Amino acid sequence: MEQPDVEFELVGRVYSEDGVYRPDPLTFTLLEGANISQGEIVCIRHPRLENTYVFYQVVEVPLRRKAKDYEEDLIKTNKVFPDPERNYPRALAEQIGYIDPTSKELRPLLEHIKPLTEVYRPPPEAIKSLLQPDRNGVYLELGRIYPHERLPLYLDLRILLRQGLLIIGGVGTGKTTTMISLLIKLLRTCAEKGLHPHILIIDKDGEYGCYELVSLARSMLGYERVDVNDIVLRRAFTDADSLHKELLKLMGLHPASTSARALRAVVEELISTMKRVELNVDLIESLLMKISSMRSRGVGDLMSRLRGLKEKLPSLLGEGVSPLEIVELLKEKTIVHIDCSNASSWSEVVSKLAGLLDYIYEEALKDKSFGCLLVIDEAHFYVPERGTFNPAGDAHREMEDVLVGKIATTGARNGVVVFATTQRLSIVKKTFSTQIGQNLIAHKVEDVDLERLKEIAGPTLAEVVRILPRGYALVKATANPLKRPVIIRVEKLASPLSAMTTCLDRWKG
């Protein structure tokens, strides 16, 4: 029989105890002395195509031992006879597929598998064809694949930016570190490709101001930090009727007055030109400029009232940064970082951010050249599952309407995509986690969250997440070319600011 290249290590042969052989899943018995680990990638020869291998991922590694009636009695008396010859290490593997020699695409094997087919551990070079199938694609290297940690795991950036990303894990498991490291890789990759990303980070605890991320953003188009307390919600108008009514109310004008009719003509002209305007001092100045050239009745009274409104408007609106100004910042900078760590009222924060995200979504619909990545840290504080906890009261409904109803559902196809982290799947809005959960990175997870994770990633490898050490994660992502859950060691490029100091540091001196 023709042997494969020497780099392919023979580890076992296909064997089914019930005598039924399927292309998926694959059961095989290991050769004496061979070893295999859960999560590892193995392969067999394609039954028909030459020099082509079908790849599988090992999901279970049971050991079968032929039982003897007397063995338990020997254990009771501690007179055991190990007899390793009766041990049969086995493995259950689920199909990844094979690379079609013609199209170079990943395809499933749908043909018969012969009994006793040889099973190999492929060399790293063979697996790399699976990890980066499109040579012209844009990939982010997330970490190294467990158990040997020799092979990198890549995520297809095009798919990530089409579907979104969700990272889950308890306090201190590394989810924020993973997100920061991923953002650094994304920025570096974009810089190499000549791309100009625009990222809005909504940071609950001020974690994302680390030097590595900030300095990288500044070396591109720039970085801007905005304290959430400085954001002021100001009304924006897209139709002349609403703006006209608001101005009449603020100036105390009757709708039937000559001044009101003169104002109506100017407002309609302004809206037809600008499409969307914000009620601020600049708007009043634009109106004054246009009205000053008019010769109709009531113009003098209207000019006087507008000047009065211009003087009192700052006190009515309050000082600060408006959502429209943040959108303009976002168009100019690589990263706009909204720090919520000093917020005094969480309901006010959620209400402000709901208004801001609505502005961003509407701007992306209007301006086809504008695309934005929203990074939301601790998403359960903004869109919690009802009945779990409610830190912002009725403001959560405003955020749900925007973040779940618009952005998570249709945002990615319109240029606004969400990358989010959350401590627990059970306390974040299920609709939200389902929409962006096609690409999931899970650090250590337990209890009810594990059941939710099994629904998304399948039961086998999800169980392993309970015992993952810090820095390791389960990746279940359509952006992963393997299309299989994979355990990796995340490559850490930076740490969140909270990791720099703990209570131990505060207790010194």
pLDDT digits (tens, 9 = 90+) for 354-370: 989 998 998 899 889 99
Arithmetic mean of pLDDT, 61-89 = 81
Q: Please list the residue range(s) of the chain that carry CATH number 3.40.50.300.
A: 153-229+321-507
Least confident range of 95-104, 131-140, 170-179, 202-211? 131-140
| pLDDT, greater one: 86 or 370 | 370
* pLDDT tens sequence across 219-266: 999 999 999 999 987 667 778 888 888 888 888 888 888 888 889 988
Residue 1 has a pLDDT of 38
Arithmetic mean of pLDDT, 277-303 = 84
Angle 407-411-412 (CA atoms, 0-180°, nearest 5)?
135
Arithmetic mean of pLDDT, 309-323 = 80
Average pLDDT score, the chain: 88
Highest mean pLDDT among 7-16, 63-72, 496-505: 7-16
* Closest to 233 measured CA to CA, from 127, 357, 108: 357
Residue 500 has a pLDDT of 66
Percent of the chain residues past pLDDT 90, beyond the cut: 46
| Whole-angstrom distance, CA of residue 200 vs CA of residue 205 | 15
Residue 465 has a pLDDT of 75
Contact 380, 428 (CB under 8 A): yes
Residue 460 has a pLDDT of 64
Arithmetic mean of pLDDT, 279-286 = 86
Residue 339 has a pLDDT of 96
Residue 103 has a pLDDT of 84
| pLDDT, greater one: 58 or 389 | 58
* pLDDT tens sequence across 159-202: 999 999 999 988 888 899 999 999 999 999 999 999 999 999 99
Q: Which residue has the tokens 């924020």?
A: 176
pTM of the model: 0.80
Arithmetic mean of pLDDT, 426-442 = 90
Beta strands in 4-159 (DSSP E): 9-14, 26-30, 41-45, 53-60, 63-65, 87-99, 106-107, 118-121, 139-145, 152-156
| Whole-angstrom distance, CA of residue 24 vs CA of residue 121 | 18
Terminal Cα-to-Cα distance of the chain (whole angstroms): 74
Arithmetic mean of pLDDT, 408-428 = 92
Q: How far is CA 20 from the centre of its chain?
A: 41
Residue 3 has a pLDDT of 42
pLDDT at 509 over 70: no
Which CATH class name applies to 153-229+321-507?
Answer: alpha beta
Arithmetic mean of pLDDT, 307-317 = 81
Percent of the chain residues past pLDDT 70, beyond the cut: 96
